[in-house]
Amino acid sequence: MVTYAFGSISSFVAPMPNVSNVLTVKLEHNTHPLWLAQIVSLLRSRSLMKYVDGTSIWPPAFLFDAAGKPTDKVNPAYEDWIQHDQMVLSWLNGSLSLAMLATVACSTSAHLT
């Protein structure tokens, strides 16, 4: 919740859209400008562009102890990062034509696509 001098506003997070309803144009050799307009607005509306442009830092997979040594405890931030990255990757893959998908099918991260 955010509090202002004139009152407070609760944060609103809209549910994730059905991507097939939002991304109506698949990326092909001749549709790049239309596809880009769709995918960029979708990613920006969800603050997910950072997973594509590389500005989101991949957190360490495991937590560190007080001495700075890795533990065997999985870092929750790592799990969240992987979940978001893989969601973006699936959106990107789902927005590609079969010919374009074949060129990036080996990508394991949204940033590498």
Q: How many domains does the chain have?
A: 1
Q: Residue 8: what pLDDT?
A: 52
Q: How big is the chain by its Cα radius of gyration, in Å?
A: 18
Question: Considering the domain boundaries, does residue 5 fall inside one?
Answer: no
Please list the rounded mean pLDDT of every run of 10 residues in the chain (113 residues).
52 66 92 97 95 94 96 96 95 95 92 75
Q: Residue 110: what pLDDT?
A: 92
By CB atoms closer than 10 A (0-12, 13-18, 19+), residue 91 is buried
Report yes or no: 41 and 48 within 8 Å, Cβ to Cβ. no
Domain that holds residue 34: 17-112
Question: Considering the domain boundaries, does residue 8 fall inside one?
Answer: no
